[in-house]
Structure 1
Amino acid sequence: MLEEVNFKIVVLDLISGRIDKTSPADVKTIANFSKPLTDYLSSINFKVLVVGHGIGGAAVTYAMEMNPDKIEKAIFVQAVMPKDGETPGLYINGQLATLAAQDVLNYNFNDKGVATSISINTTVAPWYLFNRSPREDKILGMALLTDSPYAILNEVMHLTPGNYGSIKRFYITTYMDRYFPASVQKQIYTNNPPKAKFILKNGDHSPFFSEAPYLFNHLRSLANSQW
């Protein structure tokens, strides 16, 4: 949709994202996880809007600190959004533990008993991730589903006012997300207030499927506005 109205879109696969074949268990740091994003930002000579979803908010946050001169605005779509001295998992680790206790997801451990990645139970994944999404998008989403790195959620982030703090942040929250519920999202954006917050009332954990036209409107508005 954005390309149809003449926006240039660059979709980056973060380390272990799926196209990149690194095992999520081998992703030890946020710097490593974020490398495709920071490499791209280092390669350009203009500013862009950066959008992150879920734990991808950690990569956006890291890039804001490392490449502040390349980011016009940062948009967090029901994403983690830590402050200086916090971990990305501060407000979602409790939810992940609850989901694990309900057999919705599993922690994967190394031979030392340390959790290294998370995998979601595919039998219930559609109910938690795509509950408001069209059937064909559920099928696509399930085909693309992969494990997530865990170590990055517990890394303390070091952010400065001059870099991270110089970029305007915006948050898009979804009310029908069963994986990261609206209550968890509220903790995130209340703890670290953005410039503005936008709501997708019928959005599930995958609003790019369930609320695509409305998400498009918010992104286009942010790209065109003087916020």
Structure 2
Amino acid sequence: MENPKHFVLVHGICNGAWCWYKLVTLLRHTSHRVTALDLGASGINSKQLHEITSVWDYVQPLMEFMASISHEERVILVGHSYGGLPISLAMESFPQKVLAAVFVTAYMPHYNSSPGVLIQEYFKGTPVESLLDCELKFGQNQENPLTSVVFGPQYMAEKLFQLCKPEDLELAKILVRPSGLFLEDFMTKECQLTEPKFGSVTKIFVVCEGDEVVKEEFQRWMIENGPTAQVILIREAGHMVMLSKPEQLCGCLCEVAEKIW
């Protein structure tokens, strides 16, 4: 391929780099470079959740990777679901190293408000009963903010992996890990995004029609509330689109790569 790009894939909560295995294979087949990262206490990262005391511990693998690449190199960041927040922090810290950012049915914040506001808006429209058998932990009691979550097998089967192959669901049941949400951290000044840095990066949003986790209505709301260079729709795609429709997602990313220099 002429002018191949370097994609950096960032997973959502409770998942890990493993969830990209189909997409990694397809992108490399098209001659693109691909790096799939495990965030703190995720995938095969050696840290445990109790060792992740802040969002900065959680995103440390991504930040270390971005710091390690040369100043001449520019990557395309791809964030899935909650992974949209870590890539946003990376965009703020390393805007000169980011060619574009792709939000795959992901949290896409705006520099006009703290990223934590987006988390609050999501949970306002998400009834607790819809989380089925997910294990939730709160600060002091259930009236305080949700601090961590781990997906339950029923939730994964009905909401996350319902359009995936059975073996992908079984793999997820083995590899899923609890994850923090870091709401309080995302409300602080340290996580504030700015127009000159975060705002300067080209943003593409991949809308997944039929997502039972991040509903299409919420995806469209984020797009309307933030400057997005391009919106791509994948029809009949569930939340784990990288596993249920990897060819279509690969095609979307290759389209982005061809348009951005």
TM-score normalised to the size of structure 1? Answer: 0.90
Mapping for residues 191-206 of structure 1, pairs under 5 Å: 191-206=225-240
Count of aligned pairs between the two proteins: 225
**2:215 pairs with 1:184:** no
SS at match of 1:123: helix
1:13 to 38, 41, 52: 38
**2:107 pairs with 1:105:** no
- Conserved 8 A contact 1:95-1:180: no
Rounded to whole Å, the distance in 1 between the matches of 2:46 and 2:232 is: 34
- Conserved 8 A contact 1:28-1:152: no
SS at match of 1:10: strand
Rounded to whole Å, the distance in 1 between the matches of 2:62 and 2:131 is: 34
What is the CA RMSD across the aligned residues, in angstroms?
A: 2.1
**2:160 pairs with 1:129:** yes
Paired residue for 2:55?
30
Cα displacement string for residues 72-92 of structure 1 (whole angstroms, at most 9, x for unaligned residues): 000111111111222241332
Cα displacement string for residues 114-160 of structure 1 (whole angstroms, at most 9, x for unaligned residues): 54211222123211101111222222233222222122476223112
- Once structures 1 and 2 are overlaid, which stretch shifts more, 18-27 or 66-75? 18-27
**2:80 pairs with 1:49:** no
SS at match of 2:44: coil
Rounded to whole Å, the distance in 2 between the matches of 1:95 and 1:144 is: 28
Cα offset, 1:34, TM superposition: 1.4
**2:103 pairs with 1:83:** no
Rounded to whole Å, the distance in 1 between the matches of 2:90 and 2:129 is: 30
Cα offset, 1:10, TM superposition: 0.4
- Conserved 8 A contact 2:55-2:185: no
- Conserved 8 A contact 2:104-2:206: yes
Counterpart residue identity of residue 135, structure 1: P
SS at match of 2:99: strand
Unmatched 5+ stretches in structure 1: none
Counterpart residue identity of residue 59, structure 1: P
Cα displacement string for residues 77-110 of structure 1 (whole angstroms, at most 9, x for unaligned residues): 11111112222413322244x1446534232135
SS at match of 1:36: helix
Rounded to whole Å, the distance in 2 between the matches of 1:95 and 1:211 is: 26
Rounded to whole Å, the distance in 1 between the matches of 2:181 and 2:206 is: 23
- Conserved 8 A contact 1:91-1:184: no
Unmatched 5+ stretches in structure 2: 1-25
Paired residue for 2:28?
3
Rounded to whole Å, the distance in 2 between the matches of 1:194 and 1:138 is: 32
Rounded to whole Å, the distance in 2 between the matches of 1:83 and 1:91 is: 13
